[in-house]
Structure 1
Amino acid sequence: MQFAKLAIAAATLSLVSVPAAAVTNDQWDNAGTAVTIGLMATGYGLSIAKEDNWQGAKQLTFALVGSGATTELLKQLVHEERPNGENDQSFPSGHTTIAFASAGFMQKRYGWQIGLPATLAAAFVGFTRVQSNNHYIQDVVAGAVIGEVWAWVVTKPLNDNVQVMPWGDSKGGGVSVAAKF
Structure 2
Amino acid sequence: MMLRSMTLAILLGLASATPADEWTTAGDVLQIALPLTALTATFTLDDPEGRTALVGSYATTLGASYVLKYTVDRERPDGSDTRSFPSAHTASAFSGASFLQRRYGWDIGLPAYLGATYVGWSRVYGEKHYVSDVLAGAALAWGVNYWLVPKSDRRDFALVPMQGGAALAFNFRF
TM range (shorter): 0.7 to 0.9
Which residue is equivalent to 1:106?
A: 100
2:60 to 63, 66, 69: 66
Structure 1 regions of 5+ residues with no counterpart? 161-181
Which residue is equivalent to 2:16?
A: 17
- Distance in 2 (alpha carbons) for counterparts of 1:69 and 1:11: 33
- Residues 71-110 of structure 1 correspond to what in structure 2 (within 5 A)? 71-110=65-104
* Alignment pair present for 1:47 and 2:42: yes
Secondary structure of 2:17's partner?
A: coil
* Alignment pair present for 1:34 and 2:34: no
Residue deviations 1:89-110 (CA, integer Å, cap 9, x gap): 1110000001111111111100
Structure 2 regions of 5+ residues with no counterpart? 155-174
Q: Which runs of 4+ in 1 moved over 6 A?
A: 8-11
- Distance in 1 (alpha carbons) for counterparts of 2:136 and 2:30: 19
Secondary structure of 2:37's partner?
A: helix
- Distance in 2 (alpha carbons) for counterparts of 1:151 and 1:12: 24
- Distance in 1 (alpha carbons) for counterparts of 2:32 and 2:8: 15
Given residue 129 of structure 2, which amino acid in structure 1 is its aligned partner? H
- Distance in 1 (alpha carbons) for counterparts of 2:93 and 2:36: 11
Normalising by structure 2, report the TM-score.
Answer: 0.79
8 Å CA contact 1:102, 1:151 repeated in 2? no
- Distance in 1 (alpha carbons) for counterparts of 2:122 and 2:16: 13
- Distance in 1 (alpha carbons) for counterparts of 2:89 and 2:64: 13
Give the structure, 1 or 2, with the largest relative contact order (CA under 8 Å, sep 6 or more): 2
Tell me by how many angstroms 1:12 deviates.
3.5
Q: CA RMSD in A?
A: 2.0
Which residue is equivalent to 1:145?
A: 139
Secondary structure of 1:17's partner?
A: helix
Q: Could you tell me the percent identity over the aligned residues?
A: 36
Tell me by how many angstroms 1:64 deviates.
0.8
- Distance in 1 (alpha carbons) for counterparts of 2:126 and 2:17: 14
For this pair of structures, how many residues does the alignment match?
149
Normalising by structure 1, report the TM-score.
Answer: 0.76
CA, structure 1 residues 114+38, in 2 after alignment: closer, same or farther (shift >3 Å)?
Answer: same
Given residue 146 of structure 1, which amino acid in structure 2 is its aligned partner? L
* Alignment pair present for 1:121 and 2:115: yes
